[in-house]
Amino acid sequence: MKKILLLLAVFATPFMYSQQDALVFLLDKEDVATSIANPISIMTQEAIDRKALQNTTIDDRDVPVNEAYITQLKNTLGISVHAKSKWMNAVYVRGSQMDIDDLLGEDYVSSVEFMDKSLNFRSITGATPDKFAIENQQSKITYNYGAAANQTTMLKVDYLHEQDFNGDGMVVAVLDSGFPNVINNPAFSHIVSDGRLLGTYDFALRQENVDGTGSHGAQTFSDIGGFISGQFVGTAPEASFYLFRTEFGPSENPVEEAWWVEALERSDSLGVDVVNTSLGYRGYDNSAYDHSYEDLDGQTTIGARGANHAFDKGMILVTSAGNGGSSGFPFVGTPGDSPGMLTIGAVDSDGDYVSFSSIGPTIDGRVKPDVMAQGRNAAVVSSNGNVTTSNGTSFSSPIMAGAVASLWQARPEVPNAQIMQVVRESAHLFNNPTDRMGYGIPNFEDALNNLLFLEQKTSY
């Protein structure tokens, strides 16, 4: 608790604005050739096996950041280190503009990118929204058998389960703001007792405990892996899981994007197949750090760049489109703008678009969101084990993530790009996508049948 209060104080103080946040890109890595030749030194055997199965190349991006360089940064007066990315070979730091600029004189630093875009090219302003405002409007109700029936049958995920594709053997990482009481929650007792909770980590506080801030993560987790006999079933109840806390709820700062990329990198090195992220970023407490619509091109933000690397490394990334559809900025935020991300919007129980769901297209004209799932009155399990409902694309995303994991179980050798396309092509608006609903609501019965008879391509 003391650590959380201390971190909150740091984020809340006006002194924050005399400091700057930046990515420091490093010049090189050490022992690259040796590490690639002996990949077990930098990742698990599960990760190596997954990459081999899907013909994903192990390359210099998989080699960790040079720890000697990180030590030098930590020992630099006025500089604090908050995150690192092996894929970008970069470190997220905080310090005065002068101290960060001085890093360019170090022989191991190749470039610096300030989060305040005016220090690079321009300044963007705007208000910081509460990204969980929709989700926090919950109504507790009493369910009979099949509380999650509508959100499951809408996608025909029940057909996957009838064919014994329920996530068994698949590994899912859930990246969110907090997972309190997961060990004691009856919805996850089957996962814990089976040894399928493979690990946890809080990237903000650098600890194994992932209680975090709020219970948002526990609820999103339930839509994938939750199971309470006679009351609730997630879309991939037999999958194995990692829980990673990357979001600091009381404030908004782009360091959260950097923590998120770190979690992706760890997920890849651990052999994760599917990642769910019920988070999105555009506006920050310091408006100088805000992302403009022009930034959301799938290539510019830290989140989008990290997502693109993760996609290239063979994982399927699923994320919520966001809840800004009725706001002054209705467009999908980052990392949902990434072309390597399966971005999920929200519909109601009848399959109709709900007004809070963020829309497309991206600034470069791509279809976003990709597909839709139930996000109004979605069934979830609370952190105390009660079945209830909640609203938000935060829940349409994990419903879809579990469905994707269960589908991929049928043919795990098929590369991520092809699985994602099979899902898109099964959706009811595939031939006529819209800005609100993308390609529409997938049909996983059709997706499975198409996947089982798919001739696997050798290149993409």
Q: Which of 250, 262, 242, 274 is nearest to 87 (CA)?
A: 262
What is the residue extent of each domain of the chain? 15-119, 149-452
Euclidean distance between CA atoms 439 and 356, whole angstroms:
18
One-letter amino acid at 318 equals V
The C-alpha atoms of residue 445 and residue 278 are separated, in whole angstroms, by 25
Query: In which band, very low, low, confident or very high, does the pLDDT at 134 lie, cut at 50, 70 and 90?
Result: low
* Per-residue pLDDT at 1 exceeds 80: no
- Residue 270 or residue 123, greater confidence: 270
Residues 112, 116, 119, CA angle at the centre, nearest 5°?
60
Q: Which positions are annotated as active-site residues?
A: 176, 216, 394
| Segment 33-57 mean pLDDT | 96
Do 350 and 320 contact (CB within 8 A), yes or no? no
* Residues β-bridged to residue 92: 23, 83
Q: Find out if CATH 1.10.40.60 is the number for domain 149-452.
A: no
pLDDT tens column, 177-193: 999 999 999 999 999 99
* Three-state secondary structure call for residue 337: coil
Q: Return the number of other C-beta atoms located less than 10 Å from residue 146's C-beta.
A: 15
Please state the rounded mean pLDDT for residues 351-365.
98
pLDDT tier, 454 (very low <50, low <70, confident <90, very high otherwise):
confident
Reported as a single tens digit per residue, the pLDDT across 243-267 is 999 999 889 999 999 999 999 999 9
Cis amide leading into 186 (omega within 30): no
Say if domain 15-119 classifies as CATH 3.30.70.250. yes
The pLDDT tens digits of the residues spanning 71-129 come to 999 999 999 999 999 999 999 999 999 999 999 999 999 999 999 988 985 333 444 55
Q: What is the DSSP string of 330-390?
A: -B--BSTT-TTEEEEEEE-TTS-B-TTS-B---TT----S-EEEE-SSEEEE-TTS-EEEE
* Same fold: 15-119 with 149-452: no
Question: Tell me, what's the pLDDT at 82?
Answer: 97
Strands 274-277 and 240-245: unpaired
